[in-house]
Structure 1
């Protein structure tokens, strides 16, 4: 069971239409004032922000309703996009549970969150041995940075499960379910069972 790592912490939230997993990479185009404020705050204080799947609403406009389980993201890079917009790259860290939310005057959603501990490291059992091989092939085909990860990562059930969950063409709700699972072997079992859906005829 994943337990809360700390007492409630106040965190700005960034509801999105997709799911960020621990160890994953997120690239965002920032243009709304509320999210420019979020980036300034996180940069000034050296803190992360919470990424949650949108349950109701949209990424732009009125504040959206976030899922109760999300992932803390830490900004790792800034860059300028077309038309002078700000782009950021962030890395997923710990998952968290949102205890309560509130909306600031600028439309930014903030949450009182409890961070979860990292999942325990479990070797990938032989029954799931095909998953690291498929993951390695997918990372190579898509030319993703994770293909350069230490080979020991490919024997870590959590790492393999999170990477597979973000790469397979799953619905957002399925990804959210995989994020919320606290047993890495249960996550691998669901991913293994989902694979036949994506095999070519």
Structure 2
């Protein structure tokens, strides 16, 4: 189903269910956000990658206007809704300052009701190595979108994950990534331990020759 969306391109990936805070300072986006709040309509954040719009983004809604400044700037909170693919692009939209276009929506296809066990095991290992507590809820649908920003994916791979239709395939991509990165993180942890030990008194067992 095609629908028209105003566009707010950003050099990042927004996922469904994600909360994103934005400071709005450009006049074109002040106009866009003001109109969306007045009409209670969503807007689109297509990913701007390698100096172009490769075609996918996420529909978002404004959830909170935190502050409106005297010069029109705003602090807002938004939430991601649905993934879309750009079908047409107008820059600017007739009579407006901002760009927009027709989009086709994708529902993300939650073909898995729970995360794959290997993915949960790898996540536990990864965060244990980082000694960084990370909150996530395995009971939430579309689990891949919940953790995609939390596993060290580069921007182009975050974008690639956004374009994958099936939840099962997105989780397999995350598993492949974690399989590759965990050995690297383990080696970094060992190196840090060796650096910390350098210069300290060491209690070494005698060697028998």
TM-score, normalised by the number of residues in structure 2: 0.73
Q: How does 1:10-89 map to 2 (within 5 A)?
A: 10-55=4-49, 57=51, 65-80=52-67, 85-89=73-77
- Secondary structure in 2 aligned to 1:37? helix
Larger radius of gyration: 2
Change (3 A) 1:187 1:117: closer
Q: How far apart are 1:130 and its partner, in Å?
A: 1.4
Question: Which protein has greater RCO, CA pairs closer than 8 Å, 6+ apart?
Answer: 1
Distance 1:102 1:21 in 2: 23
Q: Unaligned regions of 5+ residues in structure 2, if any?
A: 188-209
Q: How far apart are 1:129 and its partner, in Å?
A: 3.3
**Structural RMSD (CA):** 2.8
Distance 2:96 2:50 in 1: 19
TM-score, normalised by the number of residues in structure 1: 0.76
Count residues with an aligned counterpart. Answer: 178
The Cα offsets for residues 62-114 of structure 1, whole Å up to 9 and x where unpaired, read as xxx42311110111111238997411111011111110100126541101111
Q: How does 1:1-201 map to 2 (within 5 A)?
A: 6=1, 8-55=2-49, 57=51, 65-80=52-67, 85-104=73-92, 107-122=97-112, 123-131=114-122, 133=124, 141=133, 147=135, 152-153=139-140, 156=141, 158-159=142-143, 161-195=144-178, 196-197=180-181, 199-201=185-187
Change (3 A) 1:109 1:117: same
Change (3 A) 1:73 1:168: same
Q: How far apart are 1:141 and its partner, in Å?
A: 2.6
Change (3 A) 1:35 1:186: same
Query: By percentage of residues, which structure has more strand?
Result: 1
- Secondary structure in 1 aligned to 2:87? strand
